[in-house]
Amino acid sequence: MRRSCHIQVCEYNLDQNSAAIFYRTSAVEYELGGLERLRVTPEEALTLIGSPKIEDRIAALAAVEKFPAEARPGLVAILLDASRPAKNRVWCAGALARIGDDENQVATAALRQCLGSSNSAVRWASLDALGELRCAPAIEDIARLVHDHEMVQDAWDDCSPAQAAISALEKIGTPDALARIPGKRGER
């Protein structure tokens, strides 16, 4: 019996020659059989989340989805560690969006903190995650970045934190969030 799962993948790689950033979000289908054979623990997932192999990162996402409470603190720690490669931090933001937050809102607090990152890809991923989480308490923080047009270097698509901020506000969808989108009625 073939079983599969659909995983929203944020593809982020560093080009060896120019350290150029490639960022792409796409729906990818993977056979669960391959993921089940890996039997990745939450601890191993935290190592694999920054792997150069897409299969490892997908396995890491599958593991954190199975054990969100165990994986969340490690994902938050990596996300907040500015000394870590941006790729690791971006994938942690995406993983946190997939597993959600706990009652203490530690993940959303970390994502909000990363909106001040010097790396545009980390800001972009944090905005995207806050939008996916429909984090209404972050509306003001998100709105501050609607004019942040620093491009994610050499991205496959034109993407900037500004575009992610507008998308996040649209996903949150409250009247206050929508009013903060440039060009909308009641623009601030």
CA Rg value for the chain: 16
List, in order of start, the domains of the chain with CATH numbers: 4-179 (1.25.10.10)
pLDDT tens figures, 129-176: 999 999 999 999 999 999 998 988 766 566 899 999 999 999 999 999
Q: Is the pTM of this model over 0.85?
A: no
User: How far apart are the two ends of the chain, measured CA to CA in Å?
Assistant: 55
Distance CA 125, CA 164 (A): 8
pLDDT > 50? residue 42? yes
Residue 154 has what pLDDT? 61
Residue 57 has what pLDDT? 85
pLDDT > 70? residue 26? no
pLDDT > 50? residue 5? no
Render the burial of 34-70: b for 16+ CB within 10 Å, e for the rest: ebeebebebeebbebbbbeeeebbbbbbbbbeeebee
Mean predicted confidence (pLDDT) in 2-10: 39
pLDDT > 50? residue 9? no
Residue 156 has what pLDDT? 59
Residue 121 has what pLDDT? 93
